[in-house]
Structure 1
């Protein structure tokens, strides 16, 4: 249903309760450091998120980072959820349901160290994009960073007409009183029927039928916001560079560490071709053609300052890293646009062993270098970059910053675990070590509650989890089949609790989650 306040944005379905690591200031600074850029790091700075959805990420980051957080999401139900979560841990985060125009009109906003907008730029009008740029021009500090993600060309070229078809069907062919999920399903069915009639478009885009089938299998909350907004401005990278220029923003890097590992992304011919392009913006745009980029996660800096090679090296050597999973469970391969590559045992074996040493406590790159002296510096940096890019490891904030936020992370995490007693909506906890979120399943959150109650045996943790699930009429799924008896469910939960005790507890401790 279209209301005057929603400006064509699909507000009938709330957004997902997901977490985005790219909005974490610690992660953003690491991505910029990888590319050799200086960044701001203050203990009392301000950070802003525009369009925070259900508020999971902004609450996690407000707890896990020094400084203060301000954000807005003009969907009032989402803003209310974010505010309610913030109140549970006594957060000082200022979370509004302002439009971008209303936020820009405020006279009480500070200068920000960072401004982030994830999944916003493409789905708002050109007028709202201009308001975002003006907001950054007024409120981003010199040296501050802006993160923006967006759908882009050329990767979206085949699918853009399909998305347009969804939006048109929702606008003209369904009743505004129809259930939102029914409206979405009707648009998907209409599009499938259209493709089955063999239009020339389907022949020109032979993969589009498979794309539609993929969309049909996705979460309807995500599909609503990805494909059903009235505004959808898909741009080339250079279009966004031009749009942000009035805010004195310089493109610096992507928030995708694996993008720095060229062999994962480009053929030998592609690397040779791009090497011959001198201008960084032109080179980055040409690169999008080689990888057929359809979604970008970009970092801009207001007044980008380059570090010298020695400054960058020292900063990286002083950066701490931590594993997010058991060393033995890290995948032996990694995939990029150029294909799959195996992680060389002689390189990654010593690095993983060093990261796992001393109960997985964080290690500086300097410490990792000392633990694996046979590895050249460049190979070590690339190995860590790949592990971070895979989500197997994470950069850490300073120990001083970690200590500053430990108490409020504990408070937020307790509240999130209590929510797991009722639902599985939020499956992430705040780490004072990484400054960001760590995936923690509902079962694991229930195990943590049992541990906090003083229970030491996995069987007891499983019993608490089953008491919660059983009372709510829920059962576990194993081998695609529901477990029908209490004994079966309890046995499966006990097995999960024992694995949690053997593999996850030590890592969660190193991450400051317990």
Structure 2
């Protein structure tokens, strides 16, 4: 691909079809509330995503949230995919393939309630970073929030030279006519050979070879955009705070609920040390040293509105929560920088039971607290934060907002399920309850198509799924072995369909997806 327009960005390979919950306005507002800040919530606001990739997240959020969306991704292939998906469900989202400079030059943009950029900041030039800040200065409402994720120091310090090796090999030692995957594999092989020759550098950064082996097993689309762009501006947290200051943006919180659970992240010594730091920015930067932070997901507010303890408690009590998976399938432990911790059965058992009551319907924290009168408020809130951090639960938008978006979520989900007849690229559907995306595998999407067709029995769902897969010469794999006969595949699909009916289908109905 010519460098005439791509500004050093790796455009020879499109980005993944992944979904990012951190861009969901409902999730963002919850993260702010959890840290005592207020966020804007309107039914007619505007939201913006800068660098939307294949457009999965922006389409999900445009369907599942009241208001309207604007976004850009300067890769025309990715913008084209996002626009085609938006057109398929008659979205009013305005999606462009503008550069940040071109977007900033537009005179037809509104003031936004939120601006989000996920996986963009580190991988663009300093000039483009300044354009992003200026865009926020001009177009973010007072009280609006900005979400930004980025690679950071000190966590990246030992392995940054490894990334540089990949980029150098791709620039100087690979034929420009080679396919993107060949170029990536050649750079990885070169780096592996270099480490095997025992350079002094490898001795200063133990674990590099293990990291390289992990990278070799990752999706090549992800590897291309994470490691092979020309631009890579890794910063400290305070560098980013300073960068957004001209846009009148104040750091408010991370979009990581588990960050509020100190024992998962810090040693006792670390907690004591940080407790002695008064300045919140200094404390947050010092915390990155204790957890060896290498990637941050941060929320900034234009004009922070700090809530009193009473206001925060009231907001939390009025927030609805919902389980995203059957209660019995929730993992029994959770991992954090400080290690792995078991979920206490005496706490999480009753919380999961309360969330699962009444066919998993969403419940306010006030309702959950009433159902668990013996559980202290702080324990219940922490349990919910852990479950949300594990992606086992989610905060919800208001019932009024849910009603506003139900129809368009259904329309988008039908189009996504139709795509599952041909591909497994997009494995997420939109929930009007959470305002965001819910992971739904290709097979489960095929089962939902059967349900839409009026088929009530799991055996019939399996038959439709097999008819689709067989036509594409796709077979299932069980115990690392391919199933070679139609009978074996149908039997396995039938077993999965029965499990789906007894488990995930219940939660998908509560999420108003099924």
1:326 match? 326
Q: Which residue of 2 aligns with 1:375?
A: 375
Task: Spell out the pairing of 1:420-499 with structure 2 (5 A cutoff).
Answer: 420-499=420-499
Q: What is the CA distance between 1:176 and its match in structure 2?
A: 1.3
- CA–CA distance in structure 2, aligned partners of residues 332 and 191 of structure 1: 38
Structure 1 segments, 4+ long, off by >3 Å, are none
The aligned counterpart of 1:80 is 80
Contact kept, 8 Å, 1:469 with 1:475, in 2: the verdict is yes
Deviation of the 1:439 alpha carbon: 0.2
1:221 aligns with 2:221: yes
In the alignment, is residue 28 of structure 1 matched against residue 28 of structure 2? Answer: yes
Distance, in Å, in 1 between the alignment partners of 2:136 and 2:320 is 30
CA-to-aligned-CA distance 1:334-367 (integer Å, 9 cap, x gap): 1100111111111111111110000000000000
Structure 2 CA distance for aligned equivalents of residues 226 and 349 of structure 1 = 39
User: Take 1:387 and 1:192, find their aligned partners in 2: how far apart are those partners?
Assistant: 38
Q: Aligned residue for 1:259?
A: 259
Secondary structure at 2:504 match in 1: helix
Instruction: Give me the whole-angstrom Cα distance separating, in 2, the residues matched to 1:143 and 1:176.
Output: 47
TM-score by length of 2: 1.00
**How far off is 1:2 after superposition?**
3.9
| Distance in structure 1 (CA, Å) of the matches to 2:59 and 2:209 | 39
Q: How far, CA to CA, are the matches of 1:448 and 1:254 in structure 2?
A: 35
What residue number does 1:237 align with?
Answer: 237
Q: 1:236-273 deviations in whole A, cap 9, x for unaligned?
A: 00000000100000000000000000000000000000
Secondary structure at 1:134 match in 2:
helix
**CA separation in 1, counterparts of 2:496 and 2:21?**
26
Q: Which residue number corresponds to residue 398 of structure 1? A: 398
Give the Cα separation in 2 of the matches to 1:3 and 1:199: 33
Shift of 1:3: 2.2
Q: Return 347-356 or 80-89, whichever deviates more.
A: 347-356
Task: Report which stretch shifted further, 333-342 or 22-31.
Answer: 333-342
> How many residue pairs get matched?
514
Matching of residue 19 in structure 1 with residue 16 in structure 2 = no
What residue number does 2:67 align with? 67
Deviation at 1:305, TM superposition (A): 1.2
Specify the SS of the correspondent of 1:251.
Answer: strand
- Aligned position for 2:507: 507
The answer to whether the Cα contact below 8 Å between 1:13 and 1:180 also exists between their aligned partners in 2 is yes
Shift of 1:141: 0.3
Paired residue secondary structure (2:177): coil
CA–CA separation in structure 2 for the residues paired with 1:299 and 1:38: 12
Distance 1:244 1:513 in 2: 38
Equivalent positions of 1:248-397 (< 5 A) are 248-397=248-397
Q: Is the 8 A contact 1:119 1:150 kept in 2?
A: yes
Q: CA deviation at 1:177?
A: 1.1
What RMSD over aligned residues (CA atoms) do the two structures have, in Å?
0.5
Q: Secondary structure at the match of 2:358?
A: helix
Residues 1:56 and 2:53 are matched in the alignment: no
TM-score, normalised on structure 1?
1.00
Does the CA contact (< 8 Å) of 1:333 and 1:341 recur in 2?
Answer: yes
1:113, CA displacement in angstroms?
Answer: 0.2
Partner in structure 2 of residue 150 of structure 1: 150
The question of whether the paired residues in 2 share the 8 Å contact of 1:2 and 1:8 is answered with: no
Structure 1 gap segments, 5+ residues each: none
Instruction: Indicate the SS of the match to 2:278.
Output: coil
Give the 3-state SS of the residue equivalent to 1:297 in structure 2.
strand
Distance in 2 between the 1:210 and 1:335 partners? 20
Q: Deviations over 1:253-306 (max 9, x none)?
A: 000000000000000000000000000000000000000000000000001110
Residue by residue over 1:462-512, the C-alpha shift from the partner in whole angstroms, topping out at 9 and shown as x without a partner, is 000000000100000101111000000000000000000001111101001
Shift of residue 407 of structure 1? 0.1
Q: Distance in 2 between matches of 1:167 and 1:323?
A: 42
Query: Which secondary structure does the structure 2 equivalent of 1:74 belong to?
Result: coil
**1:142-187 deviations in Å (ceiling 9; x for gaps):** 0000000000000000110000110111111112111111000010
